[in-house]
A and B are shown apart, each in its own frame.
Chain A
């Protein structure tokens, strides 16, 4: 499979941006700069980037509580996201949503989502709109291995088949629904078969490998775009951090995190493949690293200097006014 050089450069830059964004967010939470509940995507960068490489701005994605990576991969502005996480009124959602609700509708980002499996039904709606408009667009929902046990996920998958909607269900298996292992929480041994039983094809990929995800997602998205109905992508890859920042991670096996960081790092795997094929040089990738580091640093500087919201803004964007108790 030949991938254009521009696509490769963009993919690496985006994965690196997600990595550095997440690691910096982790550090700023530890510094007490970012409030609320935050869930980091570090380690799973290849999933978001491998999928979104096939999407343009008017295709949609919907995300999860672990949503920063999906939003960046779909084109959300890093500075606006960082400001949002810091709670600034200049943030992408004016400080109203925070980490779990980053959204940018103009870029086809229908939002991170605080409810497990809250996204798939909404994504079916976006897919249905594409079908009615016959515009060839697809709607991708990212959700985790925890989401597949929610009724809303089952309902969305079945209805997408019934409606033959161009919905793509990307299931990211990071092995743990919060603190519970998939071997316990999913009752059957073959989740791919269980999902395909709904009536659509599922393409499986190593979620640490951009190229594997790119290929699997390409098949699924092409299937949906060509009007053949929904499709699925299963990408398996552990997260490097806890369920939330501060999670003691008592569920980890000895050496598990070290193994993930050492042997299942999307950035390392990407670089090794580029070194082997010679398509991108170390110097090109190093230059991207430096640019990304500078961009993240600037985003934090900007976020710290950005305007803070005022009390009057609480009831802005509220479209039903009620003043009796004000």
Chain B
């Protein structure tokens, strides 16, 4: 099977969806790039290159916009409401701050508020998360915030294979999907089939299987946690590593069944802890699997602070192997 980066895997999914369905289009800042310039129009393909090449094949369906995040999301929502399948790009997840109303008050609520009579099959893509020394306004995960809103499906891939299958599911989905691409993983590779395939939402992936501890991790924390679990295996500690892949819908059963079997739970996410996914999963287990627990649940997250700039500070800010290892061992102490 060919090896591809996450960037290329998502790019391939977009190309294949565009080929298959004329109602799919991409829209956003520099998704083609260089519009209006004397240079090479279409040469950018988004700042991370995820939409590369689309403009050259489908110039009418690859739409550069002004820097206007509210109008980008609103345009995607409106086009979807009348039957198109837009894939909008918001360059950094942090910019949700600019277009929050169009996401949470508009597109998320159409179907419900309109008595089930509408569909809004829009996908909004974001680069997400830390690791680039990009500081407080270009490093946030944001998916944990958006997971709290009913009416939004929220996807966080952790590898290239999942990213392609989840993107194709997102585009085919009849409801609004927020697709968070951990930008630190864009260049990470996995075996990715050339043909189209989908990965259903709400179906977790067991990245590792073990008996002692259940570990749930999201996005860029999945490969980091897998490395920890592999190291612990040499010490005789075996863990389930569950990657929910979609935070909404959430595969509650996979998590609960694992916790019932191991009796121990560690949850790892890069976002700050309050009202986040680690607390959410811990709450689920405390509510539904309390009698199975042999030890207190451990959460591993960033501290309750903005993301710092300096590399040393960011390294201390993001959960690392030491913190994840310590949390797993604490549940076994």
Contact = CB atoms under 8 A, between A and B. Distances in A.
Interface in A273-326: 308-311, 313-315, 318, 320-322, 324-326
Given A96-B309, A180-B30, A325 B136 contact: no
Nearest to A91: B310
A181 to B, nearest CB: 3
B44 A179 contact: yes
Contact of B305 (A308, A310, A318): A318
A88 B64 CA distance: 38
B278 A252 contact: no
B310 A98 contact: yes
Nearest to B41: A251
Interface in B309-330: 309-313, 316-317
Contact of A151 (B37, B70, B304, B309): B70
Contacts of A93: 309
Given A115-B98, A180-B35, A101 B64 contact: no
Nearest to A183: B36
B68 A114 contact: no
Nearest to A319: B305
A87 B310 CA distance: 4
Contact of A178 (B29, B134, B136): B29
B333 interface: no
A5 B64 CA distance: 47
B30 A308 contact: no
B71 to A, nearest CB: 8
A182 to B, nearest CB: 7
Contacts of B33: 179-180, 250-251
A14 to B, nearest CB: 25
Interface string B257-284: 0000000000000000110001000000
Interface stretch (B13-21, B110-118, B152-160, B295-303): B295-303
Contacts of A95: 308-310, 312-313
A124 B63 CA distance: 33
Contacts of B97: 115
B47 interface: yes
Nearest to A182: B36
Contacts of A185: 35-36, 65-67
Nearest to B272: A322
Given A151-B68, A250-B44, A114 B305 contact: no
A152 B99 CA distance: 11
Nearest to B305: A318
Contacts of A117: 67
A180 B34 contact: yes
Interface in B43-66: 43-44, 47, 64-66
- Give the residue among B38, B71, B301, B309 with the most A Cβ atoms within 10 A: B309
B2 interface: no
B138 A37 contact: yes
B47 A178 contact: yes
Given A87-B309, A320-B304, A252 B98 contact: no
Nearest to B316: A311
A35 B30 contact: no
A97 B317 CA distance: 14
A57 to B, nearest CB: 26
B30 A314 contact: no
Nearest to A322: B304
Given A115-B98, A324-B299, A87 B37 contact: no
Nearest to A176: B37
A250 B41 CA distance: 8
Contacts of B278: 325
A97 B300 CA distance: 24
Contacts of B228: none
Nearest to A86: B310
Contacts of A322: 273-274, 303-304
B133 interface: yes
Contact of A37 (B134, B300, B301, B304): B134
A180 B310 contact: no
A36 B38 CA distance: 29
Given A87-B311, A95-B308, A180-B30, A150 B98 contact: yes
12 contacts: A87-B310, A95-B310, A96-B309, A114-B94, A178-B30, A180-B37, A180-B64, A182-B36, A322-B303, A324-B273, A325-B299, A325-B300
